[in-house]
Amino acid sequence: MSKIKGAASAAQRSEVMKIAVSSEGPGLDSQVDPRFGRAAGFVVVDTESMATEYVDNGASQVMAQGAGIQTAERLSSLGVGAVLSGYVGPKAFTALQAAGMQVYQELDGRSVGEAVRCYTEGSVSPAAAPNK
């Protein structure tokens, strides 16, 4: 069962060019920010060239409500196909799904570079439900 699921996610992954990792800092050495909607920022990685770009998320951090939805909108407008984070709330998850993005959760506690490696090696599976 897990093999079939892994194969499906690998097939989906091959189409994804850009992934966004919630991050406490601007580079691959930075720690994954466990929060999605109120993450400090995102390291956006092109999985072909491995070029990185940092997207500040400060405007969403200070929102009274709707931080996760706005963050999903921001990443969607950048053409991101998959999101790697720690915990994703129900509204953010719905928003990411509506935008057609895959969600990978519980990748906190490591560097952004390590999280990207988990993704490219296929050792993590996309989430089917929010974990917060």
SS3 95: helix
CB 54 within 8 A of CB 28: no
Q: Among 76, 102, 105, 111, indicate the residue that binds other proteins (CB under 8 A).
A: 76
SS3 24: coil
Question: Candidates 23-31, 43-51, 89-97, 107-115 — which segment interacts with other proteins by CB under 8 A?
Answer: 89-97
Q: Is 129 in the site for other proteins (CB under 8 A)?
A: no
Pull the structure tokens for residue 120: 């490219």
Q: Is 72 in the site for other proteins (CB under 8 A)?
A: yes
- Say how many residues make up the chain: 132
Q: Among 16, 17, 55, 99, indicate the residue that binds other proteins (CB under 8 A).
A: 99
User: Residue 83 gets which letter from DSSP?
Assistant: E
Q: Among 63, 108, 113, 125, indicate the residue that binds other proteins (CB under 8 A).
A: 63
> Could you report how far apart the first and last alpha carbons of the chain are, in Å?
25
Binding site for other proteins (CB under 8 A): 63, 65-66, 69-70, 72-73, 76, 91, 94-95, 98-100
